[in-house]
Amino acid sequence: MYREKIEAYIDAHRQEMLEDICTLCRINSEKMAYKTGKPFGEGTFQALSKALAMAERYGFHIKNHDNYVGTIDLNNGARNLDILAHLDVVPAGEGWTVTEPFTPVEKDGKLYGRGTADDKGPAVAALYAMRAVKDLEIPLTKNCRLILGTDEECGSADIAHYYDEEPEAPMTFSPDSSFPVYNIEKGGMNGHFTREFEASEELPRILSVEAGVKVNVVPGTANAVVEGMEPAQVIEIAEAAEKETGVSYEVKATEDTVSITAVGKGAHASTPEEGVNALTGLLVLLSRLPLAPCGQVDAIKDLLVLIPHGDTRGNGLGIAMSDELSGDLTLAFSLLKIDEESLDATFDSRCPLCANEDNVLKVVKEKLAEKHFELHTREMRPPHHVSGDSPFVKTLLAAYEQYTGQKGQCLSMGGGTYVHDLKNGVAFGASMPGTDNRMHGADEFAVIDELLTAAKIYAQVIVDLCQ
């Protein structure tokens, strides 16, 4: 019901919708320094203000929750559906070729620019879904609320603030993933561990090792400094290690030391198998250098037993597991610092529904202790699961199938969205299955037809759940 009217409305407002997306994407809304009244900085404040003004212009009731979150209500009825989107973005980064990060451009059916896919484009698609329902005067008895956050990328303090004031709606979806429906978000454990050892001045020796920038990123590069070796020696061993690891090694000499840079392929920690871990690749090389025996060298060799290069399932730590609904446990060794007396390391693990503190946390602690490492992590983040048989999820899948002609299904993700801690929240769109929109990378884009289809699907869902 109402499909023809919804499709005609969204298609007629295509250009206006794109212009509104571009208006928001021209704002650099990455998290910045706190300012009075602007908890996440100037950029997020401007983006939220602009989005709320946009919604008010279209006749919606809006509310600004202390510049943490903005809300847009479809009507005055009891809330039955919330749509959770965010206006903050990750830093622009380097390597953009189609356009500058904050100069959105339409090209070849795609809209390029930071935030077009994550998550300003989907947020505006949801707004236009609400606008279609309102302007078409489709009768509803319940309310749909669009919630626009400003700190999703850096901890979600915004949404915590919001839910301190407001109750959850009976149903919530976030347009911050892809279709069909992600009803499972894995749990997780960031395993932070350390080890100390006596400093040794015997040569050859390692002066330092440093790898990783964030716990949720597979390191694309890693660095070490070695003393007491000739570059030619290191290069010979590095050439053999490269064939085995897929990591390349850049070796440079100074007057007294040799620096080594391992170059792999970065990836998100939720999909570590898509990367080539430079950190573990560097450890492989270091373990094969003719270094003087010492506690530091022993620690490196022990690390490779516990987290071997290429082990993205936790086999070495004894926590490899899988279940039918949520898939495999994944693990990425993402942060490491070693000096002459100590080692500090962190891995990122995404844990399926069958995981718990007994079969993951305790096992890791024991395995590390056997090799004289101390685990400092004391708890895990539980997984999130909404039944695929619920009327809510079935309604979402039916709308997806209606507007795409594709079979809907429930999926699991290793990443997390705003809905992870909500009782009845799922991720739903806005990109189509198989679309690599370079989210978080250079030349991020949204496929325009996919955004339009998402807006139509969301409008239908609003009608079906709020009548």
Q: How many residues in total does the chain contain? A: 467
For residue 464, indicate whether it is catalytic: no
Q: What's phi and psi for 172, nearest 5 deg?
A: -145, 135
Pair of tokens at residue 326: 């949520």
Work out whether strand 69-73 and strand 142-149 pair parallel, antiparallel, or are unpaired: antiparallel
Told to judge if 185 belongs to the known catalytic residues of this protein, a careful annotator would answer: no
Q: What is the dihedral of CA 222, 227, 230, 232, to 10 degrees?
A: -10
**Cα-based torsion angle of the residue sequence 67, 40, 19, 455 in order, rounded to the nearest 10 degrees:** -70
- H or E, element range at 52: helix 42-57
**First-to-final CA distance of the chain:** 12
One of 7, 20, 30, 152 is an active-site residue; which one? 152
Distance between CA 284 and CA 232 in Å, rounded? 18
Cα dist. 63→5, 49, 60, 130, 377 in Å?
A: 29, 10, 10, 16, 39
185 contacts 427 by C-beta, under 8 angstroms: yes
Please give the single-letter amino acid code of residue 13.
H
C-alpha separations of 443 from 48, 105, 225, 287, 450 in Å: 23, 10, 34, 38, 17
Peptide bond just before 240 cis, omega within 30 deg: no
- Active-site residue, selected from the candidate residues 82, 88, 158, 328: 88
CA 426 to chain centre: 15
Pairing mode of beta strands 181-185, 410-413: parallel
- Burial grade of 304 (CB within 10 A; 0-12, 13-18, 19 or more): middle
Pairing of strands 257-263, 221-227: antiparallel
Q: Catalytic amino acids? A: 88, 152
